[in-house]
Structure 1
Amino acid sequence: MHNISGQFRKTTWDPILIIAQIVAVQSTMYVCLGIWISIVVSLLGSTKSLDYAFQYSEIHVRDFGGKMMITIFVLNALIGALALWWIVQRTKQCMDFACTAHLIHLFCCWGYNCSFPTTFSWWCLNIVSVSIMCVCGEFLCLRTELQAIPLGMNTQKTAL
């Protein structure tokens, strides 16, 4: 007799897979963020710097450059949602991976600035970004998970 567990997709604890997925999502987000920043900084005529990705003071609404950085981070959250859909592929894990990616970003910023972030705009942007990444990632994964599962190999009707 076969053991039927009643689950569609059995999940097992695989720390190597989880770490690889975290690295892949984080790498995708930082590479895309770097590309976005490079394009915008070139258009604005500024010098390229890691400050745009990690410096708290770059996130503000005082001028056009600050607003563009906010826009870049929001667009990058959408890229993060696509990364969740492509790499993680599980609706239930989207919030975990989105929060992990932003927690790693918090630690990277904290280390880069040598101080904990205290600016309101930085926290608002990151809360909005993690929300966008999580909700959009869940939406994309859910659409994929809810697709019809083909049950038969032969789709043609056979005559009796």
Structure 2
Amino acid sequence: MPRRPARPGALKDLAPLRIVTQIALLQLAYYVVAIVLIAFVMVVATGQRPEAKHFLDWRELRGDVTTGWTLGLCWMLDSLVTVIPILLLIARSKLVTDFALTIHFLHLVITSLYVRAFPTTIYWWLIQTASAGLMTGVGIWACRWRELQPMAFGGKSSKGKQPANGHAVDVNAIEEGEGSGSRGRDGAGTYEMVSMAPREPA
């Protein structure tokens, strides 16, 4: 049975170097946003000086202290802001889940290496699960919204169209039913309005 030919551009989208580059950029954006949010909140809200442990130590995410809840909120906001680079770099809804889970898996590896221990607190896992779910859900919605946007060809639209005979056609007039016909909403063509004779009673 002959194999179905690949979609044009599919090999380019799945190139290993391209995927690695996208992952690296998304991970960098994820940590840059986290550093800005956590540093700002730690200085303004708690009056503490931000340290590396606030970003990479999973033991700081605790549910019994105010700092832990504050860091958890920062990580949730981070996942929401990271949707923007996902939309710009990925822009395909079916790939959002893979990249979102990859970001959180790499964060798990980095935090485990920093502490030299696997995360064991339930609160940390709850934050990471909620963060991954938020990033995936909002990212898929944003990418689908972008995919459904109409594509404009030619870069210019006007109310009148210039056919081959040199006479301009007013599209608005056609859509409103002016003249001998009416254009459908899909723009497929004009439809002539035909009057129907009243039916004689039997």
Q: TM-score, normalised by structure 1?
A: 0.89
Deviation, 1:152, is 6.0
Look up the equivalent residue of 2:114 and give its one-letter code: Y
SS in 2 for 1:89: coil
Maintained 8 Å contact 1:37/1:69: yes
SS of aligned partner of 2:10: coil
> Which residue number corresponds to residue 19 of structure 1?
20
Aligned to 1:34: 35
Which sections of structure 2, spanning at least 5 residues, go unmatched? 169-202
Structure 1 residue 54 displacement after superposition: 1.6
- Name the structure 2 match of 1:71: 73
Kindly indicate whether structure 1 or structure 2 has the higher relative contact order, using CA contacts under 8 Å at least 6 residues apart: 1
Tell me the TM-score normalised to structure 2 length.
0.71
| Greater per-residue strand proportion | 2
* Separation of aligned partners in 2, 1:151 and 1:28: 32
Superposition map of 1:42-81 within 5 A: 42-43=43-44, 44-81=46-83
Q: Residue type matched to 1:113 in 2?
A: V
Query: What is the distance in 1 between the residues matched to 2:23 and 2:137?
Result: 18
Distance 1:33 1:119 in 2: 20
Aligned pairs, how many?
A: 155
Q: Once the 2 structures are TM-superposed, how far is the Cα of residue 16 of structure 1 from its aligned partner? A: 1.2
Shift of residue 55 of structure 1? 1.3
The alpha-carbon distance between structure 1 residues 6 and 104, as it changes in their structure 2 partners (threshold 3 A), is closer
What amino acid maps onto 1:11 in structure 2? A
Task: Give the letter aligned to residue 92 of structure 2.
Answer: R
| In 1: Cα distance, 2:136 partner to 2:97 partner | 5
Q: Which segments of 5 or more consecutive residues in structure 1 lack a partner in the other structure?
A: none
SS in 1 for 2:149: coil
Partner AA of 2:24 in structure 1: V
Cα deviations across residues 8-66 of structure 1 (Å, max 9, x unaligned)? x7421311111110011000010110011110111212122111112122112222221
2:120 maps to 1:118: yes
Aligned equivalents of 1:120 and 1:131: distance in 2?
Answer: 16
Query: What's the CA shift string for 1:99-142, capped at 9, x where partnerless?
Result: 00000000001101101111101111001001101111111111
Runs of 4+ in structure 1 displaced over 4 angstroms?
A: 151-154
Q: What is the rounded CA distance, in whole Å, between the counterparts of 1:22 and 1:52 in structure 2?
A: 23
Asked if the contact 1:81/1:132 (under 8 Å) is kept, the reply is no
Q: Do the aligned partners of 1:33 and 1:53 also contact (CA within 8 Å) in 2? A: yes
- Tell me, in whole angstroms, the C-alpha distance in 2 between the residues paired with 1:57 and 1:116: 10
Tell me the SS of whatever aligns to 2:40: helix
Identity of aligned residues (%): 25
